Amino acid sequence: MRYTTIGEGERALEVSTLALGAMYFGTRTDEATSFAILDRFLEAGGTFIDTANNYNAWVGGHGRESEDVIGRWLAARGTRNQVTIATKLGAAQKDRSKPLSSTPPHNYQGLSAQVVDREARESLRHLGVDRIDVLYGHVDDRDTPIPETVGAFGKLQAEGLVELSGISNVATWRLAEAHAEARRQGVAPYAVVQQRHSYLYPPPVPPRTNWVNADLLDYAAAGGVDGRTNVTVVAYSPLEQGALARDDKPLFGGSDSAGSRARIRELRAVAQELGATPSQVALAWLMGGEAPALPVIGPSSLDQLEDLLGAADLDLPAEIRERLDAV
């Protein structure tokens, strides 16, 4: 396993360059299997674990099952000081009688100061910890003023309840405004941004602010110099929910295009030549670029995890990366 630093100064944390996504732990992935995956990830050197306060509500749970499973695993194994835990808030149901939606009206709780404070404290309780290492705003909330949200995260950090803050599913200009606001308030800025990102990419119209784009990668690459904020790009859905490796998995959310299908063909050809799997090559492509991203993998079995762990130390030769980029 390899490692990288997120955050800066006294708040900097060293984490594995693969993060383990615990999305359906406690529902689709039963507790025994979840514990086995967590055990193996830690044994392999993995230290970064990613979840949210609402994931399992999408599949019939109350939402926080994965936080509960992680909390029980931390207590049973005594591993709290060996891992970095990230969770998210703001995208749980505001009105339990109405569904969530990927298009307005979303019915999200949002990122008001009241929601941020309340939901963070609930996550602490469900995880069974006294500090959240990384706390994200799950989906940018344009109905709440940026100063209010930034100040709410800063307050939790000042109290010692949160180490690093982050934002997810956000336009780059909104991230830049939040960083400027953090400087004005004298609070710690968002250190991580989590966006959808893979070897595929959607057409630019309509605008998809939940995807990584060239502007975000350029913004992240410029961090740390001339007073600019360091920010790490974390990639969710890096394997397109299995579609990079399996024909029976559909492309979704704007990634289904002739260009994407051409890239999948090239990805699979490269994997065969390298004696690797398409998933391993796709993850290595994300981690090894000029603007590297930290992918969140979401295995539901030990076999899947073993395959994905094979990407941790895979370096793509320059000519291979050029081939992949050229498609």
> Which residues belong to the active site?
55
With tokens 């991580």, the residue in question is 192
What the block records as the tokens of 179 is 């960083």
Q: What angle do CA 215, 220, 221 make, to 5 degrees?
A: 95
Gap between the Cα atoms of 89 and 110, Å rounded: 8
Do 50 and 81 form a contact (C-beta atoms < 8 A)? no
Nearest Cα to Cα of residue 163 among 183, 193, 127, 136: 136
User: Bridge partners of 297?
Assistant: 20
CB atoms within 10 A of CB 100: 16
DSSP H or E segment with residue 231: none
What is the radius of gyration, based on Cα positions, of the chain? 19
DSSP conformation letters of 264-315: HHHHHHHHHHHT--HHHHHHHHHHTSSS--EEEE--SSHHHHHHHHTTTT--
Q: Are 138 and 57 in contact (CB under 8 A)?
A: no
